[in-house]
Structure 1
Amino acid sequence: MIEMQYKIILPRNYDMDIIRKRVQDNGHKTDGFPGLLFKAYLITEANKNGNAYNSYAPLYVWNDTQGMNQFIFEGFYDNILDSFGWQHIQIGIPLSIHLAKDFKKSRYVLENSGDIPESPSLVGAPIKLLENAEESLGRLCLYNPDKWRFSEFYFYEEKPAVAITGHPMYEILHISH
């Protein structure tokens, strides 16, 4: 498995209904995409849910690299290039993943991320679950050993009461399986 995400930061005055309409019209196109475990169409809106900026930040989890390569190099990613220009795609390796059977009901995602500090052993690395993680419909923990960073994503049907200062709370516009 492999995860990818590109975070497109948009101007504070950007009309986020443009992104909502884009996903409404096109989100279904990745339903059933070969090799895709899921794609969550994520957005943040400035001054909403504690977010400081507007963004469009789709999150993909691929069962294998073949589907990801098809998406990137066979024209599907060109829609992003045409609309938003060249984007850096962040890559992560799933350390753990748990999706409840009603995962697709998720409407919000909390992200927690940070550095994995240099140490003589990675046993017990500082990647821990949030306090309300058991209430989530899905949990995804990723790491990138190239940058020694980790990201945890927690999926919820209802907006969680807890927020993580300095980390985004995304709204999910669509989930493709």
Structure 2
Amino acid sequence: MIAMQYRFTLPADYDMSIIERRIRDKGPLLDRFPGLGFKAYLYAVADDTATGGRENLYAPFYVWENHEGLSDFLCGPPFVAVTEAFGWPQVKTWVVWHAGIGVDPRQARFATREITAITPYSDLAALRRQETDRAKEEIAGVGGTLASVAGFEPTTWTLMRFRLWAYPPPLDVRVGAETYRVGHVSWPAADNVTATK
């Protein structure tokens, strides 16, 4: 599995209702996209007290079942439409260690994404077990976590944690993380309840 995200920083005076309308209109178009585990249509509004956001962002997050799905998306019309609307983004990817999905991620209203450095010469197998256990516990808990993804990126040696929330995430979770609102979740395969890699 591969996680992927690109983000666009929008002007301070940008009318974010344009993004909300775009998500509402275009979100369902990926509900059956081949190879997609899920896509969270994320955005942030400057000075939003629920997220603590400082800038306007459009930042969709994807989990792909395989590289073919990711490649088909980036080489196809949906991504062309994104670049025509917003420009050519840097696309970040992470190898997924674990992607846990709760009962129905489409109930998500908020998301957090945290990236931290991996210390050189770390025991990666132990870190993978630790992050996998953490993600599983978050889905099993009662804190409103609807999805939890853990992964790493070996070029810059960073760890990534992504979570979908039914409610505004706790303040301690938001420290060091980007927090977003969720406009739509494309979840094409209802039987993909939990996937561990």
TM-score (norm 2): 0.82
- 2: distance between equivalents of 1:122 and 1:37? 25
Question: What is residue 171 of structure 1 aligned with on the other side?
Answer: 181
C-alpha contact 1:106 1:155 (8 A) present in aligned 2: yes
Structure 1: which 5+ residue stretches go unaligned? none
Partners of 2:54 and 2:167 lie apart in 1 by 21
**Residue 46 of structure 1, CA deviation:** 1.0
1:36 and 2:36 are equivalent in the alignment: yes
Residue 29 (structure 1) shift: 0.7
Alignment-mate amino acid for residue 172 of structure 1: V
Structure 1 residues 166, 82: CA separation in 2 closer, same or farther (over 3 Å shift)?
same
Q: Distance in 2 between matches of 1:75 and 1:46?
A: 30
Distance 1:66 1:120 in 2: 30
1:1-177 counterparts in 2 under 5 A? 1-48=1-48, 49-119=51-121, 121-125=123-127, 129=134, 133=138, 134=141, 135=143, 136-162=145-171, 163-177=173-187
* 8 Å contact from structure 2 (residues 105, 185) kept in 1: no
What do residues 42-91 of structure 1 show as CA deviations (whole Å, max 9, x unaligned)?
01111112111110000011111111111111222101110111111001
Conservation of the 8 A alpha-carbon contact between 2:114 and 2:176: no
Kindly state the Cα deviation for residue 158 of structure 1 after the two structures are TM-superposed: 1.3
Inter-CA distance 79–44: structure 2 relative to 1 (3 Å threshold): same
Cα displacement (A) at 1:124? 3.7
Distance 1:124 1:62 in 2: 24
Please tell me the root mean square deviation across aligned C-alpha atoms, in Å. Answer: 1.9
CA distance in 2, matches of 1:161, 1:88: 29
CA distance in 1, matches of 2:112, 2:4: 17
Identify if the C-alpha distance between structure 1 residues 28 and 16 changes in structure 2 by more than 3 Å, giving closer, same or farther: same
Q: Which ranges of structure 2 fall in alignment gaps of 5 or more residues?
A: 188-197
Q: What amino acid maps onto 1:7 in structure 2?
A: R
Query: How far apart are the structure 2 equivalents of 1:161 and 1:2?
Result: 27
Count of residue correspondences: 176
Structure 1 residues 6 and 151 mapped into 2: Cα distance closer, same or farther (>3 Å)? same
User: For each residue in 1:137-169, what CA deviation from the matched residue of structure 2 results, as whole angstroms up to 9, or x when unmatched?
Assistant: 111111101110111012111112324234211
Name the structure with the higher helix share: 2
TM-score normalized by the length of structure 1: 0.91
Question: 1:122 Cα deviation (Å)?
Answer: 2.6
Quick one: distance in 2 between partners of 1:16 and 1:28?
Answer: 19
Identity percentage of aligned residues: 30
